[in-house]
Amino acid sequence: MPLIVQKFGGTSVADSQKILGAARKAIRAARSGNQVVVVVSAMGKTTDHLISLANEITDHPNSREMDMLMSSGEQVTIALMAIALESLGYKAVSMTGAQIGIKTDNTHTKARIKSISTDSMRRALDAGKIVIAAGFQGISDDGDITTLGRGGSDTSAVALAAVLGADECEIYTDVDGVYTTDPRILPEARKVLQISYDEMLELASLGAGVMHSRSIEFAKKFGVTVHVRSSFSDGVGTLIVGMSESDAPVAGCAVAKNEARLTLVGVPDKPGNAMWLFSRIAEAKIATDMIVQNVGLEGRTDISFTVPATDSTATLDVLNLVLVEVGAERVEYQEKVAKVSVVGLGMEKQSGVAEKMFRAISEKGINISMITTSEIKISALVSLDDAAETLRAVHSTFELQKTPVKLNEPKNLPVQSINKIDLDVARISGMEDIIIESISLDRQQSQITLPAVPDKPGIAAWMFENIAAAGIIVDMIVQSCGRGGKAMISFTVPRSVLSKALSVVGNLTSEWGSAKPQHNSEIAILTVRGTGLRSHTGLAYRMFKTLADGNINVNVISTSERSISITVEDSSGERGLQLLKNEFLAEMM
Ligand code: ADP
Ligand code: ASP
Ligand code: MG
Residues 312/333, Cβ–Cβ less than 8 Å: yes
How confident is the model at residue 482, as a pLDDT?
Answer: 61
pLDDT tens for the 589 residues of the chain, in order? 999 999 999 999 999 999 999 999 999 999 999 999 999 999 999 999 999 999 999 988 999 999 999 999 999 999 999 999 999 999 999 999 999 999 999 999 999 999 999 999 999 999 999 999 999 999 999 999 999 999 999 999 999 999 999 999 999 999 999 999 999 999 999 999 999 999 999 999 999 999 999 999 999 999 999 999 999 999 999 999 999 999 999 999 999 998 999 999 999 987 778 878 888 888 888 888 888 887 666 788 888 999 999 899 999 999 999 999 999 999 999 999 999 999 999 998 888 899 999 999 999 999 998 999 988 999 999 999 999 999 999 999 999 999 998 999 877 665 544 443 455 544 446 788 888 999 999 999 999 999 889 888 888 899 999 999 999 989 899 988 766 678 889 999 999 999 999 999 999 999 989 889 999 999 999 999 998 888 787 788 788 889 888 988 887 888 889 999 999 999 999 999 999 999 998 888 7
Q: Rounded distance, CA 220 to CA 225, Å?
A: 9
45 lines ligand 2 (CB under 6 A): no
Q: Specify the ligand 1 atom closest to the Cα of 177.
A: 25
CATH classification code of 3-246? 3.40.1160.10
pLDDT value at position 193? 94
323 within 8 A of 264, measured Cβ to Cβ = yes
C-alpha closest to that of 162 among 436, 538, 529, 415: 415
Residues with CB under 6 A from ligand 1: 9-12, 41, 151, 173-175, 178-179, 181-184, 208-210, 252
Q: Which DSSP string corresponds to 332-350?
A: EEEEEEEEEEEE-GGGGT-
Residue type, 514: S
Which of 153, 160, 213 best tests ligand 2's pocket when mutated (most atoms within 8 Å of CB)? 153
Residues 6 or more apart from 232 whose CB is under 8 A from it?
Answer: 12, 21, 174
Handedness of CA 81, 85, 87, 88 (dihedral sign): positive
Q: What is the CATH number of domain 259-332+438-587?
A: 3.30.2130.10
Nearest alpha carbon to residue 8 among 19, 16, 259 = 19
Which DSSP string corresponds to 376-392? TEEEEEEEGGGHHHHHH
The reported pLDDT for the residue numbered 425 is: 46
How crowded is residue 171: how many other Cβ atoms within 10 Å of its Cβ?
29
42 lines ligand 2 (CB under 6 A): yes
260 has which bridge partners?
307
Res 275: pLDDT: 77
Domain ranges across the chain? 3-246, 259-332+438-587
pTM of the model: 0.94
**7 CA to centre of ligand 1 in angstroms:** 14
Residue nearest (by alpha carbon) to ligand 2 atom 9: 150
Rounded CA separation 65/307 (Å) = 25
The bound ligand whose nearest atom lies closest to the alpha carbon of 136 is 2
Probe residue for ligand 2, chosen from 12, 39, 52, 70 as the CB with the greatest number of ligand atoms within 8 Å? 70
- From the CA of 39, the nearest ligand is 2
